């Protein structure tokens, strides 16, 4: 084992317990220090912004504690409160305060990004930072570019030679299949014939950039997407640097939505089954 990634979400005890995390922040910090003391693998955590009770001051403290902890890397993820989730039901029933609205989440993302940049962390993707060279996040980076990946272990996913697979996510079922000499696959399927286009888009957007001109030159049909370049630039989501589009800070905040729009456009233009829906992406404002 050379890397451990843990979903801390927040170091604030009240925030943690509001979303079902049992340990208090001090205990989590102590466990991270113990894990680091072994000096055996890269230690990485996830933090979320926009959680109930997580004010801007609490978020500042979360990111500062991340740096103080000395861990090797971190993801900063936006909270999405989906309409039928347990968290949204708790909010509707008054058992939890509302999550931060999108405008506040955007400010939280901006602070986290700029603070880690100022502290000398290396940006590995639109939402992932590394403190040192022990954390490279190769799986997350290469998977989006379509690199051949052989999955190993419960819940692992990968793709090889045009086939995508995921191993069973349920540990008892995974172990049972192994004991019975069966391959513990949840699914095995052919990738889309246009997977190379989609992987290129996902990989580049994960790095906060997109060479739209080169993408259009490779395939005739996606040429209809050309208008998205100046349109998204007008909205301030990316800026053309003379060679390609680079996502602005606002574009990095909306990266997931922008990438999904591009992928849906490719599906439509290449004749694949498409379902484009206009709806709220989450229950918060």
- Range name among 91-95, 100-104, 144-148, 151-155 with the lowest pLDDT average: 144-148
* pLDDT (mean) for 99-104: 94
Rounded distance between C-alpha atoms, residue 161 and residue 153, angstroms: 20
* pLDDT (mean) for 13-38: 95
Token digits of residue 235: 């909205």
**Helix, strand, coil share of the chain (percent; to 5):** 45, 15, 40
DSSP letters, 222-257, are GGGGGGHHHHHHHTTSEEE-SSSEEE-HHHHHTHHH
* pLDDT (mean) for 115-137: 95
* pLDDT (mean) for 178-187: 94
What is the predicted pLDDT for the residue at 84? 85
94-115: string of b/e by CB count within 10 Å (b at 16+)? Answer: eebeebbebebbbebbebbbeb
Cα 184 to Cα 2, 74, 197, 217: the distances in Å are 24, 30, 29, 41
Q: Which domains does the chain have, with CATH numbers?
A: 3-136 (3.30.750.200), 140-190 (no CATH), 196-269 (1.10.10.920)
* Segment 256-277, tens digit of pLDDT: 999 999 999 998 888 876 565 5
* Segment 189-217, tens digit of pLDDT: 999 888 889 999 999 999 999 999 998 88
- When the pLDDT of each residue in the chain is averaged and rounded to a whole number, the result is 92
pTM, rounded to two decimals: 0.89
Question: Which residues touch 198 (CB under 8 Å, ≥6 apart)?
Answer: 192, 263, 266
pLDDT at 7 over 90: yes
Rounded distance between C-alpha atoms, residue 47 and residue 28, angstroms: 13
3-state secondary structure of 157: strand
What is the predicted pLDDT for the residue at 278? 56
DSSP 11: S
What is the predicted pLDDT for the residue at 282? 59
What is the predicted pLDDT for the residue at 68? 97
Token digits of residue 109: 């993302």
* pLDDT (mean) for 45-59: 97
Rounded distance between C-alpha atoms, residue 44 and residue 47, angstroms: 10
What is the predicted pLDDT for the residue at 58? 98
What is the predicted pLDDT for the residue at 220? 84
Token digits of residue 224: 């209809």
Under 8 Å between Cβ of 282 and 81: yes
- With pLDDT > 90 as the criterion, what percentage of the chain qualifies? 79
pLDDT at 280 over 60: no
Token digits of residue 237: 């989501």
Under 8 Å between Cβ of 56 and 35: no
DSSP H helical ranges for the chain? 13-18, 25-37, 56-69, 86-92, 102-118, 138-144, 171-179, 195-206, 212-218, 228-234, 249-253, 255-269
């Amino acid at each position: 084992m050379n890397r451990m990634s843990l979903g801390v979400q927040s170091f604030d005890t009240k925030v943690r317990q509001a979303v079902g995390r049992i340990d208090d922040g001090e205990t989590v910090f102590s466990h991270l220090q113990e894990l680091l003391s072994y000096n055996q693998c890269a230690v990485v955590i996830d933090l979320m912004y926009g959680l109930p009770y997580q004010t801007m001051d609490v978020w500042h403290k979360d990111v500062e504690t991340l740096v103080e902890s000395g861990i090797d890397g971190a993801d900063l993820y936006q909270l999405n409160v989906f309409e039928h989730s347990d968290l949204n039901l708790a909010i509707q029933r008054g058992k939890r305060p509302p999550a931060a609205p999108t405008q506040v989440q955007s400010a939280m993302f901006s602070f986290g990004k700029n603070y880690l940049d100022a502290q000398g962390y290396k940006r590995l993707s639109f939402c992932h930072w590394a403190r040192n060279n022990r954390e490279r996040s190769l799986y997350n980076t290469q998977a989006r570019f379509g690199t051949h990946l052989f999955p190993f272990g419960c819940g692992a996913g990968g793709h090889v030679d045009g086939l995508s697979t995921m191993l069973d996510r349920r540990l008892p079922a995974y172990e049972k299949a192994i004991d019975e000499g069966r391959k513990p696959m949840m699914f095995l399927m052919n990738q889309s014939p246009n997977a190379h286009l989609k992987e290129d888009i996902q990989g580049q957007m994960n790095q906060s950039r997109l060479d739209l001109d080169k993408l259009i030159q490779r395939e005739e049909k996606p040429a209809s997407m050309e208008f998205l370049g100046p349109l998204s630039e007008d909205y301030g989501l990316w800026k053309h640097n003379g060679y390609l589009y680079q996502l602005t800070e606002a574009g990095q905040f909306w990266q997931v939505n922008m990438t999904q729009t591009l992928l849906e456009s490719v599906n439509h233009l290449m004749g694949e089954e498409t379902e484009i829906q206009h709806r709220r992406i989450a229950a918060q404002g």
